[in-house]
Each structure stands twice: as structure tokens, then as C-alpha cells.
Amino acid sequence: AVVNYTEREVPYTRIIEHKHFEFGKQEKTVISKEYSSEWKVGMEPYYPVNNEQNNKLFEEYKKLAEQEKNVIFGGRLGNYKYYDMDKVIEAALETVEKELA
């Protein structure tokens, strides 16, 4: 369903073929191509924007999160960190081992 491209010659970073996310067999499909771009004010940030203001805000949220009982925060949003898929799975498994062992 998802193919990542890291070659300099390829103008996009990822292709997603959406029919593979649905159950059953579709006769037709939709393909999306992702192009990277530098974030600018007014654009939707898809990944953490690590500037001083946002990092301070994350630290405040982290302190509040530590006071919560029976809640585990993780992943890109919970850790305010960019993860590649292999690393986020690794972090999730480590969290499960730590919290539930």
C-alpha cells in the first residue's frame, strides 16, 4: 500500500495506493504521491516543528501527562518526536515491555 522513495532523482517521497487499505477487491484505485516541502507559517505541520516555543509547550504537556494514571502516551504525537515506522514499532514494544511486564 505504501512505497517510500529515497532516491534524489525521484521528485516525491512516497506513493500510497489506497485500495490496499480497504477490505475486499476494488476494480479501481487511487494513488497519492507525497512531495516534501519546507514548512512555512500558515501551512499544516505534519511533523513536529521543533522550535523553542513548541518544545516548551511539549514539556508542559509532558508534566501533565506524568500525573495521569493508567494512560500511556507514545508515538509521534505522544513523544513529540519524528519516528520512522521501524523505530515507532520498536519504541512501542519497549514501552509494552516496561509498562506491562
Secondary structure element (H or E) that encloses residue 62, with its range: helix 52-66
Cell numbers for 68, please give them: 495521569
Antiparallel, parallel or unpaired: β 14-17 and 2-4: antiparallel
Residue 69 reports pLDDT greater than 70: yes
Computed over every residue of the chain, the mean pLDDT equals 88
b (16+ CB within 10 A) / e for 49-58:
eeeeeeeeeb
How many alpha carbons lie under 13 Å from residue 24 in its C-beta half-sphere? 4
What's the confidence (pLDDT) of residue 24?
Answer: 64
Helix, strand or coil for residue 31?
strand
What are the pLDDT digits (tens) for 74-92? 888 888 888 888 999 999 9
